[in-house]
Amino acid sequence: MIFVENALGQYILYYDILTRLEPDRRLYLAIRQETYSELFQEPIGKILLENQRLCLLVFGSKREVVLQWIP
């Protein structure tokens, strides 16, 4: 889970910088389907999505296919 926390920290840093430098761009965090199921289906993960600061690209790790875009 430490990897996810680090990724979220980097995402927030990039988000804040990108918002200032290129406000029309949208930043997505790519995560495996397993991570999405473990974290973002739980109440704490849902809070992260509800504030609409976090956009996700969910992919299947075996076939490396995009399964879901969550703006």
The string of pLDDT tens digits covering residues 9-63 is 898 899 999 999 999 999 999 999 998 988 888 888 888 888 887 899 999 988 8
Q: Count CA within 13 A, CB hemisphere, residue 41.
A: 7
CATH number among 3.40.1350.10, 3.40.50.720, 3.90.660.10, 3.40.50.10470, domain 2-70: 3.40.1350.10
For the whole prediction, is pTM greater than 0.75? yes
pLDDT of amino acid 1: 61
- According to DSSP, residue 38 is labeled I
Structural domain boundaries in the chain? 2-70
Cα dihedral sign for 45, 51, 52, 53? Answer: negative
